[in-house]
Amino acid sequence: MKQAFITDLDHTFLRTDLTISTFSRDVWNAKTREATLSVATARSFKKAMQFLPGLHLNAPLVLLDGALVVTPEKRIIDLKLITRELGDAVIDAGMAFDIEPVIITLEDDALNEAFLYPARRTPHQEQLIDRYREDDNLVEQRTSRARERNMKLVYMGEEALLRPLHDALQRIFGSALKLILAPEAYLGCYYLTVLHPLADKAHGLISASAHVDHDPSQMTVFGDGVNDLGMFELAGTGIAVQNAVDILKQAADIVLPHTNDEDAVARYLADFT
């Protein structure tokens, strides 16, 4: 049976400047001749593929923290959505804290996405929109509302603003939603991600591994953040890059001596036999 590897992107396989080195790309593509390789990321299909030109993927991608699992050929394997009604209820609850989310929706089965952003934005949301300004799927909403197929709602701001919102959403919705509150490394703030309760990388790993006839316990995963913990618990081998958060390093089977900026994943793959 082929070896199988799935890596997180940001701060794990991607360098901090959002590039993939020639060394990492060459090692990865050579490894796909003998092994199964793909990615698990908080990013959407559109954004992930912008960073992966020339990279061979031969297993489903786990996207949007597990809300979407899809083949490189765009065949949907698994999809975990927040309904319009529930999404609007979350938005209304957030209004009490004077903050509105960014919403990533699936517009059709061809994986066309909409990136809905509020007209009234926090400074960190404004920074995010500036980064995405050239994308063709940005939609400004005068009044924030969910759509039919919502994959992810994201609030961005200071921890002091988002933690009370997190606690309120937890009280109101309980197990009907999955909430992730964590630092956002690129913009220097916090994000609060709202997902379907089964939208996580662990469930995504189960779907992806079944598609390639592997058990998760036969797979090796790489990561750096809190949202990778579920994968580490399921996978046969969990590998943390040197720049990973402490809680992930503690859960890891292997902690690499190199960071994402030092091609940690590719170095491991090059030495793995």
What band does 133 get if pLDDT is binned at 50, 70 and 90? confident
Q: What is the mean pLDDT of residues 172-178?
A: 96
Tokens for 203, please give them: 């469930």
- Tell me the domain boundaries of the chain: 3-79+199-271, 84-195
Q: What is the mean pLDDT of residues 19-36?
A: 95
Tokens for 192, please give them: 């609060």
The pLDDT score that the predictor gives to residue 273 is 67
Pick the CATH number of 3-79+199-271 from 3.40.50.1000, 3.40.30.10, 3.40.50.2300, 3.30.450.90: 3.40.50.1000
The pLDDT score that the predictor gives to residue 231 is 94
In the CATH scheme, what is the code of domain 84-195?
A: 3.30.1240.10
**CA dihedral (202, 208, 212, 213) positive or negative:** positive
Q: State pLDDT tens for residues 57-101.
A: 999 999 999 999 999 999 999 999 999 999 999 999 999 999 999
Other CB atoms within a 10 A radius of the CB of residue 42 amount to 25
Q: State pLDDT tens for residues 36-52.
A: 999 999 999 988 998 89
Element (H, E) at 125: helix 123-131
Beta bridge partners, 140, equal 117
pTM for this model (two decimals): 0.90
Instruction: Please check the confidence at residue 1 and state whether its pLDDT lies above 80.
Output: no
Average pLDDT across the chain, whole number:
93
The pLDDT score that the predictor gives to residue 128 is 84
